A and B are shown apart, each in its own frame.
Chain A
């Protein structure tokens, strides 16, 4: 066991926490900002130092330990000890956590650096340069707690922590009511998911405890999951219409509960509505939290709990279909959006759908691979969009952009790399990861309708290529549609902004080679080239490729062709024949408006959930129970009763004549004496 103990792990999450605490305490107690250089050094130094520690530890993990026992554990202290149950505050670095930690600390470092440039250019009265970095560091800490947690409880602490930081950062410019409302929406929707997650944790713990292993620790749960494979829970009578009533497989129920949590955090149907609104936050926040890291927490959790999901086919089918439908649904919405960040937001929802599609067909390494490449290219796209927004003086409407290519050359080139990567053009990173997912769906014979899943993924790939190139052409090519005043002021961003863009562009381009499928590697004589898959395999047990190489290349060619078809269509409509677009839009008419209005899902939720809930809260709970029962009868009722009794009757005892009081006293004394001497 000793070779697995590693006290260095704690510093990975602790460094950002220390930076956030120092910086935050200074803000609270000194009531002014630190010198600019100190803020930057603390804020950017912490994640960079974390990244350095993480790299050293991951290298050591990969080289010092045997392949089938690669994990480091760092026990800080026993957090909860009750009876047989122990929960440690402990960190676990295994291949799965290692990949996440490297992506999180790496991308987070770049985005911290970018944020210096971005927040400098912000001249709002409530800009809060230092406050921003306190939140950002705190977020990095929470995210690292989430992925490094050795048990479900530590993970849950991080899970809630990232939710809070997300709320704080979405509503960062809180003087604008809309931003504050978006923050609250994100928090409330996430709470719905968290409720499911908590139920899942309780259910798993309760079942493990009844099986004699009271634990929430990942490795212990994985080792003992067989005990629960045949357990079942009783369903309540109102669920009698379900198949299998009155008993349901325990693991399916538990995994479904966990998946509700994943849906909330990773913005899947039906809980995706918060993510597009979360774009109200500063753009680096959208890149870090709402594209690269936090929203992938749900995928990570499903991969982390893969030992349970793989024994729960019902839950897996739910995961895979939710992911596939979300991918397609969000991609169609992205086609008709005109806000540059909204396009990217729906694209993120769609790509997260892909990841769940992969996780659901047990291709966990493909899901994590896509998580990694997506972190690169989507962070790049968001940061590029942020650069565009800065250059356009906070204009986000792509119909008012155009022709930025010559004015912002570095942003243009890096953004183009990101667009090509997400569109799935080989050999950019998105091609390999997306292809792995589609392949996994194609060969997943245990899932009902897996060809349909594959087809949905293929259509989504087409739509992805189309809407990303639509965005690219509208923003960077043609002539500028901005006002003359804005046009004169368009400028390329500073180096704080451009350096992270270039680094991310590099990784978006070559990131796919971390997980190059074995079939491609063998072309060049490299065995086991899918290093990510083989690295993760001891932890997450992904499905292997079962189809022959010819089919694999055929499918890849088809995917590529579909991607190029999307690109071609976008080029036709938004580059060569722009005159066609208004005709198509008016021909599509109501359908176009429906898609542009995001299928009016927010309005539907408002009508079906928010309004009835508000009506019940206001009418029954507030007026009826709070004001009526508690205030009316309980509080004011007591007071009114006392006053009425006193005013109506008791006050007449107070005659003001001292001698009447004395008479009462004497009579009382006489009665008292009579009582005392009774019976003698």
Chain B
């Protein structure tokens, strides 16, 4: 286990971020897309904390807390939008919400 280094943390973070990004791009269910966004945010968190430990600078960890707060706020707003969408249009499929076009 002593082989785990900063490098590995970053690989994992990159993998999780990519999974999240692909999820946002490929899935149609808004709840799932939302969860994918959370994955990307947490991947970024992981990357920040790992770098922070490696460089020996606490700023990255502070920033991770910041991201968590933002994520929580974002969930509150985002879920509220999704709920009102379901109430009005009875769907969570993102392709059904394409009125804002030419």
Contacts and interface: CB of A to CB of B under 8 A. Distances in A.
Interface string B80-102: 00000000000000110111111
A666 interface: yes
Contacts of A654: 100-102
Given A654-B102, A656-B100, A656-B101, A662 B95 contact: no
A662 B24 CA distance: 8
A659 B101 CA distance: 13
Contact of A659 (B94, B99, B100, B102): B94
Contacts of B95: 657
Contact of B102 (A652, A662, A666): A652
Contacts of A659: 24-25, 28, 94
A645 interface: no
A652 B101 CA distance: 8
B75 interface: no
Interface string A638-657: 00000000000001101111
Interface size class of A (residues with CB under 8 A): 10 to 19
A523 interface: no
B21 interface: yes
Nearest to A646: B102
A655 B94 contact: no
A473 B62 CA distance: 109
A663 interface: yes
B44 to A, nearest CB: 12
A656 B94 contact: no
A523 B94 CA distance: 118
Contact of B97 (A651, A652, A658): A658
Q: What's the interface size class on B, roughly?
A: 10 to 19
A600 B94 CA distance: 83
Contact of A656 (B21, B24, B25, B99): B99
A670 to B, nearest CB: 10
Given A657-B95, A658-B94, A663 B100 contact: no
Main secondary structure of the interface of A (DSSP, over half): helix
Contact of B25 (A651, A652, A655, A663): A663
Contacts of B98: 655-657
Nearest to A655: B101
A651 B100 CA distance: 11
Contacts of A656: 97-101
A666 B33 CA distance: 14
A60 B25 CA distance: 100
B102 A651 contact: yes
A659 B93 CA distance: 11
Given A657-B95, A659-B94, A666 B100 contact: no
A659 B28 CA distance: 9
A664 to B, nearest CB: 11
Interface in B34-78: none
Nearest to B26: A659
Contacts of A663: 25
Contacts of B21: 666
B6 to A, nearest CB: 18
B84 to A, nearest CB: 16
Interface centre among A655, A656, A663, A666 (most CB of B within 10 A): A656
A658 B27 CA distance: 11
A250 B25 CA distance: 84
Interface string A568-602: 00000000000000000000000000000000000
A93 B24 CA distance: 91
A568 to B, nearest CB: 94
Nearest to B27: A659
Contacts of B94: 657-659
Nearest to A650: B102
Nearest to A651: B102
A384 B100 CA distance: 81
Contact of A662 (B25, B28, B97, B99): B25
A658 B95 CA distance: 8
A39 B28 CA distance: 84
A666 B98 CA distance: 20
A331 B21 CA distance: 98
Nearest to A670: B21
Nearest to A663: B25
A498 B29 CA distance: 100
A325 to B, nearest CB: 75
Contacts of B28: 659
A652 to B, nearest CB: 7
B62 to A, nearest CB: 23
A662 B94 CA distance: 12
A654 B99 CA distance: 10
Contacts of A655: 98, 101
Contacts of B100: 654, 656
Nearest to B95: A657
Contacts of A662: 24-25
A137 B51 CA distance: 86
Contacts of B97: 656, 658
Interface in B7-24: 21, 24
A656 to B, nearest CB: 3
A652 B102 CA distance: 7
A96 B13 CA distance: 99
Given A656-B98, A657-B95, A666-B25, 7 more contacts: A654-B100, A655-B101, A656-B101, A657-B94, A659-B25, A659-B28, A662-B25
Interface of B: 21, 24-25, 28, 94-95, 97-102
9 contacts: A652-B102, A654-B100, A654-B101, A654-B102, A656-B100, A657-B94, A657-B98, A657-B101, A662-B25
Interface of A: 651-652, 654-659, 662-663, 666
When A and B form their complex, which 5 residue pairs have the shortest distance between CB atoms, in order from nearest? A656-B101, A656-B98, A651-B102, A654-B101, A658-B94
